[in-house]
A and B are shown apart, each in its own frame.
Chain A
Amino acid sequence: MMTIDDDMLMAFVDGELDEVSRARVERAVVEDPVLMDRLEQQKRLRERLAAHYGPTAEEEVPERFRAMLESNVVALPAAAPRIGRPVWQSLTALAATLVLGLAIGRTLLAPTPAAGPLAVEGGVMVARGELAQALDTQLASAQPRDAATRIGVTFANNDGRPCRTFDSPAAAGIACHGDTGWQVMMTAAGSGRQRADYRQAGSENLLVQQTAQEMMAGEPYDDAAERRARDSGWRSNTPRR
């Protein structure tokens, strides 16, 4: 019978053996009850550690850590260079997402301007109803836990218009404020979830996030800038920070 030393047995448990060695251990374990016991002991140890430490990774992360990361943006040098794609390329990407957005958006469009979250006016998609209301008034830093529409980041685009990402049961997307109110620049499928701990709208919607990154001039607004922008009625040409 082949001897399997502790190192090898543990490498087996850790999934570090190549196929040939793994097969050797498997054969040896079947033939040797003592080895089987040692293997079982190692498996129990792994399970015990997982049972003890695993739940920590499942818990909600304390707010103070989240806050440390969120407030860090303020401390950054304002003019961090953005390694962006050429503008035309971004615009192409944006146009593509807009087409996709329109396809999704069509099903959400209200028959009359006042009824649904989205409407088309003069060829542009605009936010209506509850969505418009949330975009107008809701602060990401202080949104009701049960709000149907969550606001994510607020930022200025290259035209200096304030834009916000949103996520509602019906749709997620980005809207920028203009003369006609909130123009919806793109939409994607909404999360449709009602999780109480769901704080950062769009945090799981990569498409929205990436597009927001592309559109963003400078940094996202911090809590104070977001509040100022709201209180000023979402005026354009907000000075870039």
Chain B
Amino acid sequence: MQAFERELLTLLPRLRRFARALARDSADADDLLQVALERALKARDQWAAGTRLDAWMMRIVRNCWIDEMRSRTRRARTFVPEEEGEMTGVDMQAELDARAEMHAVDRAMANLSPEQREVIALVLVEGLAYREAAELLEIPIGTLTSRLTRGRQALAQMLEAA
């Protein structure tokens, strides 16, 4: 095993937690991590040795998650955006059943917009500094903090009401 794989190995627990915070349950999270690892191993030449592998890898996990969300949306166009909180027919029932089974925290996270969920996962779960998280997502700090504030307010509301 080379340094790249070895370092990646030590990052796995954290990456798994990050994937877990993005995905809706542990099975989805591990699927996400698998896809991300495959992508990372293929793209390993693009990682510049000496730069932070954790940030590079988290970006890949995040991008894979976004791709997965998009393809899910394409597969099931009956789903309206989650913020509107409305779904139709059979899908709605299936989705409601699935959500009833979910842990309160997962459910609350699933109700956030993807933009809010990823900043919560990076800053509150993974403990990244604002600057690090903003760089990773390639957004201005102000955008990051406003998403963070709104995401947090929504989470606190949902969790305290439950």
Tell me whether B1 and A59 are in contact (CB under 8 A). no
Give bound CA distance, A176 to B124, whole Å: 48
Interface assignment of A142: CB less than 8 Å from any CB of chain B: no
B16 and A61 contact, CB distance less than 8 A: yes
- Decide if B105 touches A69 in the complex (CB within 8 Å): no
Residues in A whose Cβ lies below 8 Å from that of B103: 52
A16-60 with Cβ < 8 A to chain B = 16, 41-42, 44-46, 48-50, 52-54, 56-59
In the complex, residue of chain A having the shortest beta-carbon distance to the beta carbon of B10: A203
B70 within 8 A of A: no
Give the interface segment out of A3-11, A124-132, A156-164, A186-194. Answer: A3-11
Contact A69–B37 (Cβ < 8 Å): yes
Known contacts A14-B130, A45-B155, A153-B1, A68 near B37 by CB under 8 Å: yes
Q: What B residues does A107 contact at CB under 8 A?
A: none
Residues of B within 8 A of A45 (CB): 124, 152, 155-156, 159
A201 to chain B, nearest CB (A): 13
- How far is B64's CA from A232's CA once the two chains are assembled, in angstroms? 45
- Asked if A76 is an interface residue, CB under 8 A from chain B, the answer is yes
Determine the chain B residues whose CB is within 8 A of the CB of A61 once the complex forms: 12-13, 16
In chain B between 1 and 33, which residues have their CB closer than 8 angstroms to a CB of chain A?
Answer: 1-3, 5, 8-9, 12-14, 16-17, 20-21, 26, 29-30, 33
Seed contacts A53-B20, A57-B16; 8 additional CB < 8 Å A-B pairs: A11-B130, A14-B130, A45-B155, A49-B155, A52-B106, A65-B12, A65-B37, A80-B2
Can you list 29 A-B pairs, Cβ within 8 angstroms, ordered by A?
A7-B146, A44-B156, A44-B160, A45-B152, A45-B155, A45-B159, A49-B21, A49-B120, A52-B103, A53-B125, A56-B16, A61-B13, A61-B16, A64-B34, A65-B12, A65-B16, A65-B34, A66-B9, A66-B12, A68-B34, A68-B38, A68-B41, A69-B5, A69-B8, A69-B9, A70-B5, A73-B5, A76-B2, A220-B1
